[in-house]
Amino acid sequence: DIKDKIYEIREDFPILKRKMCDHPLVYLDNSATTLKPKSMIDTVVNYYTYLGANAHRGDYEMSAQVDFAYENARKLTKEFIHARRDEEIVFTSGTTESLNILAMTITNTWLHENDVVLSTVAEHASSVLPWLEAGKSKNIKVEYIPLDEQGRVTVDNFKKALHDKVKVVALAQVSNVLGYEAPIKDIVRIAHEHGVKVVVDGAQSIAHLPVDVQDLDVDFFCFSAHKMCGPTGIGVLYGKFDLLEELTPVFFGGESNARFNKCGKVSLKKTPLKYESGTQPIEGALGMAAAMKYINELGKENIHRYELALKHHFLEKIKDVEKVKVYNAEAESGIITFNVYDQGKLIFPQDVASFLNTRGIAVRSGEHCAKLLGEVLKVPGTCRASVYFYNTFEDIDKLVEALKDASFETCLDIFF
C-alpha cells in the first residue's frame, strides 16, 4: 500500500525538499508534468558521465554499450505498454511530436478530400490542432463527438457521430481537463468494424492506468516521458507494426535511410529506425526506462488506487465548503477541476492559483490547452489540482485550508 511507505517514496524525490514562497512545496500540477525520482536523474547523469557516445553509429565498445542501453529502453517500453514487438516503439520528443507525425503521415498516405477525422471538444490542442493543420492541404474535415452533460465521451455518441466519411478517430484516453476516461476499447472495436483507424493520446493515462495496447487494440498510442517521472524531450509513438511499415515518415535524415542517390531516390530502413532520423535524445530514452522501472515497482494499480483515495479525501473535506465548485467529482482519475466563488461570483481561476502559490501550493489554472471545452463548462477557465503517488493526505488538507481562505480580497491582494 503506497500510504504505508509514502515517506520512503518521498525520499526518492529530491525536489520535494525545496520550498516555494517560503512554504514546503505542495506540488499538485502533475498533469502538467511530474517530479523525478533520483534513480531516473542518476540514469541521465550516468549516460553523460560514463557512456557518452551516439547510438547506432559507432564501431567501438562505448558505442555498442549505448546501442544496448538504448534498445533495452525500447524493450522496456514495449513491455510497459504490452506491445507485440520492440519495432512498434518509435522514440519521439513527446506526445505532441508523435501526434503531429501521425496527423501528417496519415493525412498524406491514407486520407482523401472530404474525409473526416473524429475528435472531441475536450481534446488537448496537441491532439486536435495537428489534424486541423495537416488536413488543410487535402480539405480534410475534423468533426467532434458530442460530449454528454458531464463532459464525457460515450460509446452512444461515438456511434452517432460515425459515418462513411470518417477514416480516423483521434482522442485522449484520459482528458487533461476533466480527467474522465474514454471508453477506448469499445470505441476501437466499433471503429475497426467500420475500417476506421484509432489514434489515442495517452499523455494523461500512461502514468496512472495500466495500459495494454494489445488488449485495447488501438492502432496508435502516444505519450510523453515527463508525465510519468521521466525526462522532458522524449516520448513514444506506438503503432501496430504493419501500419508503421505502410506509412512514410515525415522527417528524413541520418540513420533512417539505408541508402539514397543524388536524385532523391531513398531506401528507408525498417520500422522503427525509419522514423528516428537524426541523433535521438539518448539520455531521455534511458531516463524514461528508469522511470518505467520505478513505476513498475510501485505498480500502476496501486498508484491509481492511491490517487483516487487522495481525490476522495479532497471531495470529503470540501463538500461543506460551498464556495468551491468541483466539476468532475466522478472522474476516475486524480484530476480535480474546480472553481472558487465569493458571494456567488467567480474568482478568476488564475487569481486563485496565484493565491495558492503564496501558500506553496502549485496548481494549474486556465483552459488547460483544451480551448474548445469552455463551450461545455460555460466558464472562462478552471483551476486544476492533479495528484500523483508522492502526494500526501496533508497536501490535500493544505489545499482545502487554503481554498477556505480564498476570496476576492485574499486572491487579489497579492498583486498590490
Please list the active-site residues. Answer: 369
Q: How many CA atoms lie within 13 Å of 180's alpha carbon, on the beta-carbon side?
A: 20
Residue 176: CB minimum distance to ligand PMP, A? 3
Residue 98: CB minimum distance to ligand PMP, A? 8
Interaction with ligand PMP in 125-164: which residues (CB under 6 A)?
Answer: 126-127
Cα 73 to Cα 89: distance, rounded to the nearest angstrom: 10
Contact 169, 196 (CB under 8 A): yes
CB burial of 149-185 (b: ≥16 within 10 Å; e: otherwise) equals eebbbbeebbeebbeeebbbbbbbbbbbbbbbbbbbe
Residue 183: CB minimum distance to ligand PMP, A? 16
At a CB cut-off of 8 Å and minimum separation 6, what does 383 contact? 337, 338, 339, 340, 349, 352, 353, 356, 363, 364, 365
Q: DSSP character for 49?
A: I
Residue 305 burial (CB count, 10 A): 14
Q: How many CA atoms lie within 13 Å of 342's alpha carbon, on the beta-carbon side?
A: 15
Residue 193: CB minimum distance to ligand PMP, A? 26
Q: Kindly state whether residue 201 participates in binding ligand PMP, applying the rule CB under 6 A.
A: yes
Q: Kindly state whether residue 95 participates in binding ligand PMP, applying the rule CB under 6 A.
A: yes
Cα 227 to Cα 205: distance, rounded to the nearest angstrom: 9
Cα 271 to Cα 239: distance, rounded to the nearest angstrom: 10
Cβ proximity to ligand PMP, 66 vs 285, nearer residue = 285
Residue 256 burial (CB count, 10 A): 18
Question: Exactly one of 94, 230, 249, 287 binds ligand PMP (CB under 6 A); which one?
Answer: 94
Listed ranges 121-129, 206-214, 275-283, 390-398: which one lies at the site for ligand PMP (CB under 6 A):
121-129
Strand bridging mode 166-172 / 116-120:
parallel
State how far Cα 304 lies from the chain centre. Answer: 15
Question: Exactly one of 224, 271, 333, 386 binds ligand PMP (CB under 6 A); which one?
Answer: 224
Q: Kindly state whether residue 200 participates in binding ligand PMP, applying the rule CB under 6 A.
A: no
Residue 32: CB minimum distance to ligand PMP, A? 6
**With CB under 6 A, what is the number of residues at the site for ligand PMP?**
14
Cα 291 to Cα 224: distance, rounded to the nearest angstrom: 12
The x, y and z cell numbers of residue 403, run together, are 481554498
Q: Kindly state whether residue 287 participates in binding ligand PMP, applying the rule CB under 6 A.
A: no
Residue 177: CB minimum distance to ligand PMP, A? 8
Q: Residues 365-394: x/- map of binding to ligand PMP (CB under 6 A)? A: ----x-------------------------
Cβ proximity to ligand PMP, 37 vs 130, nearer residue = 130
At a CB cut-off of 8 Å and minimum separation 6, what does 226 contact? 33, 34, 94, 232, 233, 234
Q: Kindly state whether residue 203 participates in binding ligand PMP, applying the rule CB under 6 A.
A: yes
Residue 45 burial (CB count, 10 A): 12
Question: Exactly one of 124, 274, 364, 384 binds ligand PMP (CB under 6 A); which one?
Answer: 124
At a CB cut-off of 8 Å and minimum separation 6, what does 287 contact? 40, 41, 43, 44, 47, 225, 230, 231, 234
Cβ proximity to ligand PMP, 213 vs 403, nearer residue = 213
Question: Exactly one of 77, 96, 105, 386 binds ligand PMP (CB under 6 A); which one?
Answer: 96
Cα 99 to Cα 250: distance, rounded to the nearest angstrom: 12
Residue 320: CB minimum distance to ligand PMP, A? 31
Residue 369: CB minimum distance to ligand PMP, A? 6
The answer to whether the bond into 272 is cis (omega within 30° of 0) is yes
Cβ proximity to ligand PMP, 97 vs 115, nearer residue = 97
Q: Residues 167-196: x/- map of binding to ligand PMP (CB under 6 A)? A: -----x---x--------------------
Listed ranges 12-20, 51-59, 91-99, 358-366: which one lies at the site for ligand PMP (CB under 6 A):
91-99
Cβ proximity to ligand PMP, 277 vs 386, nearer residue = 386
Listed ranges 45-53, 104-112, 122-130, 331-339: which one lies at the site for ligand PMP (CB under 6 A):
122-130
Binding residues for ligand PMP, rule: CB under 6 A, are 31, 94-96, 124, 126-127, 172, 176, 201, 203-204, 224, 369
